[in-house]
Every structure is written in C-alpha cells, then in structure tokens.
Chains A and B, each alone.
Chain A
Amino acid sequence: MGRIIVANRRGHQVVEWDAETDTAEARAGVEEAERILAEARAGGCLISKKVGDQHVIDTEPFDKTVKEYQIIAPIAGG
C-alpha cells in the first residue's frame, strides 16, 4: 500500500493506492495518485518521498512502488 500525505490547513490528509493488486479499482487508485502528484507539481508544489526513516525531495516521475510521498507547499519570500 502506498500513500500520499497531502499537507494542508487540516494538518494533513492521506490518499492511498494499492500497487500489488491487479484489479480495475486498484489501477484506478494508482492513476489517481499519479494525477494528484502531477497536479500538485503543476501548481508549484514539490514532492518528497520517504527514504529510510525520513523524507527527501523527489524529482523523479511517479513510482507506484514508493511507500510514501508528500506534497510540499510552494514557498514565497516575505
């Protein structure tokens, strides 16, 4: 099971996908996760993924085998 942590004013929400099950529903979940990351990147966000026990900024395309992504807010000065 993979998940995206979406940090927002609620603290965070999570979207999950199942990369190990080969059903239409599971494939739709993977596609939706990929779409969310692409949409966030298009909106100026960065993406991080968990490596070991901490997150690192990730610039690679979506990988359904990653266990945990996080959407990182764009930043502005001042």
Chain B
Amino acid sequence: MQRFFRWLVGAGALPPAPIEAADGNELERPWLRRWELLPKRSAGADFTSDDYTHARARAVEVARTTLGESLWAELERHGYLEVHSRRFPGVLYRLRVGRRIEVRCAPGTRNPWPMPFLCINPEYPLPEVEFFAQLYLYCRDREDLIVRVAAPQPWDQALGRTF
C-alpha cells in the first residue's frame, strides 16, 4: 500500500519490494542504498554493540566458506594470504584482515604501483573478515578490477569501510 501511495503522489521510483531471508527477517540488500555519509569503520547509527558482535561472528562462517578449509587454515597459520599476480610477473599481493593490500615484488622486479600498499574498500560496510575473503577472490579472479580501482598508499592502515 505504501508503495502505491508513493507512486500516486509522484514520490519517485517505487522502492524495491522487500524480500524475506531464510532467517525470517527482511533481506538487507546493501547495493540498493547509499553509504557515503557513514562514519569510518561504522555499520550505521542503528547498529548496537551486540549487532557488531553478532555480525563479526557470522562473518567468520562466511569467510571460511568462501575461502575453503585449506586457505582458511593457511590464514590462521600465517595471519595473511598471498595471491600471485597473473598480470605482473614477480608480483604478489599479501592480504591481511582489515588492512590494505601489500604489494611484494621478487628481487629485480619493479613494483607496478608507485607505493607499496593498495587501499581498497567495499562500497558498503562489511565485517572485515568477510571483506577479506571477498578481496581475496578479487585478487585471484578479477585482478583487472584491483588494478582499476586500487589507491596506492605509502603505509599500511585499517580499512575505513569495514569494521
């Protein structure tokens, strides 16, 4: 009914119809919202400390599913994962949870970027371990997008859009 009245009074495009997730709650589809004004390392003013705790716990499940047991064990063992560049021979990306990507070069290999760290954030807030697993997929399967969006930085730092 609310959608109909919005349409009737010319209040812009109808908002997308809600979808129910398997947990019985409305599915949050973050790609439909704008997040630019959110403070750094925040999930929004409506988020409680319990929400952060639960989100981080649930994120571990998904990150583990995304990476598979072998990579997950490697992450736990070393504290990072590495992906060899397919585009730049001798270059590898070292990823740590919640941090910028470190670009490491074999001896004699020139860094294709002017600085050793690449700052890449999700466009909407995510728990950092969950985004870590997604960033791993980007580095391994869609390096072209990493190259296109990466912001080279001189030092490491926590990412601003994860928490």
Residues of A within 8 A of B (CB): 3, 5-16, 32, 36, 39-40, 43-46, 48, 50, 52-57, 68, 70-78
Contact = CB atoms under 8 A, between A and B. Distances in A.
Interface residues of B, number: 56
B45 interface: no
A1 to B, nearest CB: 10
B141 A77 contact: no
B123 A73 contact: yes
B112 interface: no
Contact of B44 (A7, A9, A16, A71): A9
Contacts of A46: 137-138, 142
Given A9-B28, A43-B31, A43-B32, A73 B131 contact: yes
A56 B62 contact: no
Given A7-B62, A9-B126, A40 B134 contact: no
B158 interface: no
6 contacts: A9-B43, A55-B66, A56-B137, A74-B31, A75-B149, A77-B120
B68 interface: yes
B76 interface: no
B118 to A, nearest CB: 8
Given A5-B65, A14-B21, A46-B142, 5 more contacts: A8-B30, A11-B58, A54-B70, A73-B126, A73-B131
A15 B120 contact: no
Given A40-B31, A73-B131, A74-B31, A10 B58 contact: yes
A49 to B, nearest CB: 11
B127 A73 contact: no
A59 to B, nearest CB: 9
A1 B54 CA distance: 26
| Residue among A48, A54, A55 having the largest count of chain B Cβ atoms under 10 Å | A54
A48 B135 CA distance: 12
Contact of B142 (A11, A40, A54, A57): A57
Interface string B1-41: 00000000000000010010111010111111000000000
Contacts of A11: 54-59, 61-62, 127, 130
